[in-house]
Structure 1
Amino acid sequence: MSPTLSARLAQLFASYNGDHRNATNQAIHVIAVPAIAWSVIALLWCVPPLITWFKPGVWAAVAMFAAWCWYNRQSRSLGYGMLAAFFLAAMSCRVIEQQLGLHILWKLALGVFVIAWIAQFIGHHIEGKRPSFLTDLVYLLVGPVWVLAKAYRKLGWAY
């Protein structure tokens, strides 16, 4: 870890790592956590805007911006990575919306959400530990950046 990682995120990572030691559970998380993050973005994408001149996706944009602000405060490097991940998620939602419609995006996102959460709970059953977010909801934000940090380490990138 780099010295630019906030003490708070380092502490959260240490705790999160303690709840995710089993290799199978980690492998499930590497797939399911990004899937859950995408599905939440996609579900928010489908929520109708309150003001008619706003387009679909406004609530997803607000949520992604708020999450990105938190990530960027914790680590500039990981913040940039999450910004890229959010951009890709938003673009995929936009493409699916344009090509197939919001009703298909909504159904797809709901399916991904349910399947990925089932996988998560299977992983935690294998691990023998409760999901971290059951102790503190901030771990719902930690999961995606924890997966990104694993990718950074694999690539030899500092964070």
Structure 2
Amino acid sequence: MRTIDRLLATYGESHQTTFYKRIHFICVPAIFFSIVGLLACIPTGSLFLSKVPETFQPFLHLGSFALILVLIYYLKLSFRLFIVMVLFSLIVLYGIYILDQLNLAPLWLVMLFIFAVSWVFQFIGHNHEGKKLSFLKDIQFLLIGPAWTMSHLFRF
């Protein structure tokens, strides 16, 4: 069995009920989004500005660099998963950019709110499921959660 198949199957063992799957399909992408958004609040400085076209300069932040590392991890697991996660990551980056442009509140505050609310619902779902959080037994399940969600949404 391929590593990605084993990881997804193991992760899926603690995500069986329809109620929790629905929570998971909303909250895990929201947590992913909020973490990248929180990291986006940390600028990389002017180190790369002269080397990047102006169009891409708003995306020069720690969130983008973290995504590159995460995507390398997904590429090592599965090319199809990597492609889906690249698309999802681009949507996340654009969503963060739009949210920042709306200037509703400081970006870090909006992301912290999304993060906290999403985790509250995750804990409700895990309590309903009766299983402990997967990443407590293996830290890489923090990255497998979004992959598991995408694998179900795109049926692979």
Given the two structures, how large is their TM-score scaled by the length of structure 2? 0.87
The alignment-based identity, stated in percent, is 32
User: 1:148 deviation in Å?
Assistant: 0.4
1:45 aligns with 2:45: no
Equivalences for 1:85-96 in 2 at 5 Å?
A: 85-96=88-99
User: 1:19 deviation in Å?
Assistant: 0.7
1:11 aligns with 2:13: no
1:139 corresponds in structure 2 to: 141
Q: Distance in 2 between matches of 1:26 and 1:7?
A: 24
Paired residue total? 147
| Cα offsets for 1:7-54 (capped at 9, x unmatched) | 1111111111111111111111000000000000000000132x3345
Q: Which runs of 5+ in 2 are unaligned?
A: 49-56
1:80 corresponds in structure 2 to: 83
User: 1:92 deviation in Å?
Assistant: 1.3
CA contact (8 A) 2:20 2:125 kept: yes
Match of 1:125 among 113, 124, 127: 127
Given the two structures, how large is their TM-score scaled by the length of structure 1? 0.86
1:25 corresponds in structure 2 to: 20
Q: Distance in 1 between matches of 2:69 and 2:129?
A: 31
Q: What is the RMSD of the two structures over their aligned residues, measured on CA atoms?
A: 1.7
1:59 corresponds in structure 2 to: 62
Q: Distance in 2 between matches of 1:21 and 1:96?
A: 33
CA contact (8 A) 2:75 2:82 kept: yes
1:105 corresponds in structure 2 to: 107
Residue identity matched to 2:29:
P
Q: Distance in 2 between matches of 1:124 and 1:99?
A: 34
